[in-house]
Amino acid sequence: MSSNAEKYFDALLALSGDPLFADLRENLLAKIGDEDLPKLVKHSVARNLSRQDSEFIITRVLDIVAGEEKMKEGTNGNDGGREVIKIEDDEVERNSSQVRGQGKDSYEMV
């Protein structure tokens, strides 16, 4: 049985890569609950991606984290009213082991 994260991923992926569906993808993404969003992120990055794509993703994540840290420093450690979603490591390993052996897929970040 597929998890919500897997279902969301498949739906979002189907809507990706074509500007015609960009608004639909954004609308679906906005409707994903706070509990499912970190699971979707973990499922998404646990794919067999190329080295170049993996470096691109980690660079963006690090830039986001660094920006969040600077924002926290500017607000004396509180989140400045922004919602923070924590991603746990336990499912990343499970998802990445499920993906291994399925072949390499190439996905374009849109």
Q: Tell me if 106 is assigned to some domain.
A: no
Contact (CB, 8 A) for 99 and 46? yes
The string of pLDDT tens digits covering residues 39-69 is 999 999 888 899 999 999 999 999 999 998 8
The string of pLDDT tens digits covering residues 69-83 is 888 887 655 555 555
DSSP 9-78: HHHHHHTSS-GGGHHHHHHHHHHS-TTHHHHHHHHHHTS---HHHHHHHHHHHHHHHHHHHHHHHHTTTS
- Grouping H, G, I as helix, E, B as strand and the rest as coil, residue 80 is coil
Q: Tell me if 105 is assigned to some domain.
A: no
Q: Tell me if 35 is assigned to some domain.
A: yes
Contact (CB, 8 A) for 95 and 46? yes
Q: Tell me if 110 is assigned to some domain.
A: no
Q: How many domains does the chain have?
A: 1
- Grouping H, G, I as helix, E, B as strand and the rest as coil, residue 6 is helix
Q: Tell me if 24 is assigned to some domain.
A: yes
pTM: 0.59
What was the pLDDT predicted at 32?
96
Q: Tell me if 77 is assigned to some domain.
A: yes
Q: Tell me if 108 is assigned to some domain.
A: no
Q: Tell me if 26 is assigned to some domain.
A: yes
Task: Supply angle C-alpha 93, 49, 24, rounded to 5.
Answer: 95
The domain in which residue 61 lies consists of: 4-99
